[in-house]
Amino acid sequence: MRPGIIALSTGLLPILAIHTVYLVAAMNEHVPWCIPYIDSCTSISATGRQNPEYFIFKATMIPAAMLMMLFWYLCYQWLLTTGYRRSFGARSIPFIGTVAALFLILYTTMLGASGDLYQLERRIGVIIYFTFTYLAQLLFTYHIGKLNSQQQLFSHRIYSFLFGLNTTVLSIGLLSLILDLTMADYDSIEAAFEWTLALLIHIYFFGIYAAWRQTEFTISFKVSV
């Protein structure tokens, strides 16, 4: 079995889910029509708070989170199959990624519930999801950079793409933080940053798909009888 489809689905499913839910919400006049990446007219959370988009969001994002857990486990296994030495940093990748996925499930589950406590849980869930996913991606990029410099298993353009994404996400995140601290009306543009960061973080998985495809990464199952 080629696990590249896992990497591809891990990135594609959230992107399709978020944009589909936005379109459904806009068609039902639950959110305004706009380009969220530019107009910052609505947050991702706001698109999935009412019916029917509420159910679409949960039905897609919870499976997406489960795919992410499997994806990060496969990332570690891929490193091992290349002969990459075991290290604490490499072993921590699936753990960090799994924590991120669990908090995505928490965020998704609490979406649509009213009350300050649920709002706090949603905020914690989405912050930890983005932060830990980025940390897992950054750590994995570091290790595959070392790996590729030693063995040249895949095109250097793939590593450059992944490194460029990591750098861009960090830059946008820092800019967002600075503006939050210095702008009185930062809330009016916060959603645009959220949409952009979400898109870039999920595009990262496409780069891993390309790396796995070039290295012909496969997994097999065996049963002893």
- Residues 39-44, mean pLDDT to the nearest whole number: 90
Residue 118 predicted with pLDDT over 70 = no
- Does 219 fall in a domain? no
Distance, in Å, from the CA atom of 137 to the CA atom of 170, rounded to the nearest integer, reads: 11
pLDDT reading at 153 higher than 80: no
Does residue 216 come out as left (phi exceeding 0), alpha (psi in the -120 to 50 range) or beta? left
Residue 38 is assigned to a structural domain of this protein: yes
Question: What are the structure tokens assigned to 95, written together?
Answer: 């753990």
Most confident of 46-50, 122-126, 133-137: 133-137
The answer to whether 23 touches 81, Cβ cutoff 8 Å, is no
How far is 144 from 151, CA to CA, in rounded Å? 10
Q: What share of the chain is helix, strand, coil (3-state, %, to 5)?
A: 80, 0, 20
Q: How confident is the model at residue 65 (pLDDT cuts 50, 70, 90)?
A: very high
User: In this structure, is residue 130 part of a structural domain?
Assistant: yes
Q: What is the pLDDT of residue 197?
A: 94
Which of these, 155, 162, 159, 105, lies nearest to 134 by C-alpha position? Answer: 162
What pLDDT shows up at residue 9? 94
Using CA atoms, how far apart are residues 207 and 178, in angstroms rounded to an integer?
A: 29
More confident residue, 84 or 48: 48
In a domain, 15, yes or no: yes
Instruction: Please tell me the predicted confidence (pLDDT) of residue 172.
Output: 94
CA distance 22 to 47: 5
This prediction has a pTM of 0.91
pLDDT at position 201 is 95
- Whether the link from the prior residue into 94 is cis, omega within 30° of 0, is no
Predicted confidence band of residue 111 (pLDDT cuts 50, 70, 90): confident
Burial class (CB in 10 A: 0-12, 13-18, 19+), 118: middle
The mean of the pLDDT values for the chain is: 88
Which structural domain range is residue 10 located in?
4-214
pLDDT in the model for residue 216:
83
Using the predicted structure, report yes or no on whether residue 45 has a pLDDT greater than 90.
Answer: no
CB atoms within 10 A of CB 16: 14
What pLDDT does 114 receive?
66
Task: Assess if residue 224 is contained within a domain.
Answer: no
Is residue 222 included in any domain, yes or no? no
Gap between the Cα atoms of 101 and 6, Å rounded: 15
Tens digits of per-residue pLDDT, 69-104?
A: 999 999 999 988 887 777 888 889 999 999 999 999
For the chain, what is the domain count?
Answer: 1
Instruction: Establish if 154 belongs to a structural domain.
Output: yes
Under the banding of pLDDT at 50, 70 and 90, the label for residue 225 is low
Lowest mean pLDDT, pick from 147-161, 163-177, 191-205: 147-161
Confidence of residue 116 (pLDDT cuts 50, 70, 90): low
The answer as to whether 182 is a domain residue is yes
